[in-house]
């Protein structure tokens, strides 16, 4: 038997641009990638580092072209800010540059998913649903779905620490979600370290994506904050319609950026239901923006290593990244019928 050399097909030696690289998520991406790829990581934004603006895809494309002519080719862009549409992702993929996107808005992810053909033709890869929610929630959902042999319904719960210094863009995104139509009833779910918590439907992208990628007809994501009082106040504002005027949301965004009551922990839970069967998997961690950045950094590294197929993929569709919770030191627990929980792999 002869030994064969396997080409990774990856962009070994190429550079990576982190857009929003000075923000809460982006700085965690830059720190992790810098450790693995010293000298090959560029941080960008409108104000610092590589000057880029994702709201101007043409100028963004020109910058990509210039970077591609630098000392080493540009292999990937990690998007750590939400662009208004898929224009910036298209500019990357058309040039054969990979994309890792931490975006959480359903319409935006759908727009990038629509570039699958563009990516394949260019031999490029995009990874979507990267982060905590969407991201780790997608991975938990897939495990729970498989554990019941194909779920009929999945309930996802995301608990965020109100004490964490969330980035401006993430706070804006969350407050904007309060104006979205309510699609399901609230529920009460047990979360590791927090007990049973009331959680309210919230427009995280994971629920819409998983209906398609896992073929589960009913998926709902609910949000709670670690402060019970703040959770109740926030969702009362939504229920009464008080959060609908843009001026109120601007005020809430400013308030959340200044007031930090609570901890910096987060917890996630995915419950899959099929007939009488029910499997709930959960995990807890600290500083969701840092963990989002780490998930994105791992995805970017796998992309640059050529470990991911070309085309546009959501995190739960990539076996190379299926063990991310364990790689990040997060313990996945399986909820028993009683109060007991046990670790699962
Ligand atoms: N999937 C998940 O679980 C998850 C979790 C947390 C956050 N997120 C998403 O991650 C994104 C970043 O959140 P964050 O907390 O890091 O926010 P952040 O701290 O406000 O960081 C955003 C960064 O983007 C840059 N930026 C803003 N507008 C830009 C533009 N038009 N073009 C280029 N750069 C721009 C900003 O720098 P300049 O002002 O210098 O441009 C800033 O450094 C948000 O979209 C949020 O929804 C996802």
One digit per residue, the tens of pLDDT, for the chain of length 345 reads: 322 222 334 555 899 999 999 999 999 999 999 999 999 999 999 999 999 999 999 999 999 999 988 788 999 999 999 999 999 999 999 999 999 999 999 999 999 999 999 999 999 999 999 999 999 999 999 999 999 999 999 999 999 998 888 788 888 888 888 888 888 999 999 999 999 999 999 999 999 999 999 999 999 999 999 999 989 988 998 888 888 888 888 888 888 777 777 899 999 999 999 999 999 999 999 999 999 999 999 999 999 999 999 999 999 999 999 999 999 999 999 997 643 344 444
What are the Cα distances from residue 237, in Å, to 31, 84, 223, 226, 233?
38, 26, 14, 17, 6
Q: Please give the angle made by the CA atoms of 246, 248 and 251, to the nearest 5 degrees.
A: 110
Residue 201 beta carbon below 6 angstroms from any ligand 1 atom = no
3-state secondary structure of 75: strand
Whether residues 251 and 331 share a domain: the answer is yes
Whether residues 37 and 72 share a domain: the answer is yes
Q: At what angle do helices 246-258 and 168-177 cross, to 10 degrees?
A: 140
Residue 7 in domain: no
Residue 291 beta carbon below 6 angstroms from any ligand 1 atom = no
Whether residues 283 and 241 share a domain: the answer is yes
Distance 81 CA to ligand 1 centre (A): 3
3-state secondary structure of 178: coil
pTM, 2 dp: 0.92
Residue 203 beta carbon below 6 angstroms from any ligand 1 atom = no
Give the total number of structural domains in the chain.
2
Atom 40 in ligand 1: residue holding the nearest Cα = 47
Whether residues 64 and 186 share a domain: the answer is no
Q: Quick one: which atom of ligand 1 is closest to the CA of 52?
A: 33
**Cis ω on the peptide bond leading into residue 134 (within 30° of 0)?**
yes
Q: Whole domain around residue 156: which residue ranges?
A: 136-288+327-343
Residue 285 beta carbon below 6 angstroms from any ligand 1 atom = no
Whether residues 218 and 78 share a domain: the answer is no
CATH of the domain at 119: 3.40.50.720
Whether residues 75 and 177 share a domain: the answer is no
């Amino acid at each position: 038997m002869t030994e064969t050399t396997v080409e990774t097909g990856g962009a070994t030696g190429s550079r990576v641009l982190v857009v929003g690289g000075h923000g809460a998520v982006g700085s965690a991406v830059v720190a992790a990638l810098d450790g693995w790829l010293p000298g090959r990581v560029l941080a960008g934004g409108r104000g610092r580092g590589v000057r880029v603006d994702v709201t101007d895809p043409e100028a963004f494309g020109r910058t990509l072209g210039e970077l591609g002519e630098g000392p080493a080719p540009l292999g990937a862009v990690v998007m750590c800010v939400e662009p208004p549409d898929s224009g910036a992702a298209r500019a990357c993929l058309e040039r054969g540059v990979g994309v890792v996107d931490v975006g959480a808005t359903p319409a935006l992810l759908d727009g990038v998913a629509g570039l699958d053909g563009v990516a394949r033709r260019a031999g490029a890869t995009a990874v979507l649903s990267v982060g905590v929610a969407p991201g780790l929630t997608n991975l938990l959902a897939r495990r729970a779905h498989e554990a019941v042999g194909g779920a009929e319904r999945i309930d996802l719960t995301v608990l965020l620490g109100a004490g964490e210094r969330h980035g401006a863009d993430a706070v804006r995104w969350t407050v904007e979600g309060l104006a979205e139509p309510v699609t399901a009833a609230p529920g009460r779910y047990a979360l590791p370290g927090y007990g049973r918590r009331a959680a309210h439907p919230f427009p995280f992208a994971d629920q819409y994506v998983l209906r398609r990628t896992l073929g589960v007809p009913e998926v709902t994501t609910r949000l709670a904050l670690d402060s019970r009082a703040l959770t109740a106040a926030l969702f009362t504002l939504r229920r009464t319609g008080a959060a609908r005027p843009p001026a109120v949301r601007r005020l809430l965004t400013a308030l959340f950026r200044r007031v930090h009551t609570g901890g910096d922990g987060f917890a996630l839970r995915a419950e899959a239901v099929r007939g009488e069967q029910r499997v709930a998997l959960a995990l807890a961690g600290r500083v969701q923006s840092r963990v989002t950045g780490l998930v994105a950094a791992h995805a970017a590294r796998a992309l640059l290593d050529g470990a991911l197929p070309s085309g546009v993929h959501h995190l739960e569709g990539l076996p190379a990244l299926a063990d991310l919770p364990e790689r990040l030191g997060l313990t996945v627990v399986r909820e028993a019928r009683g109060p007991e929980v046990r670790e699962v792999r």
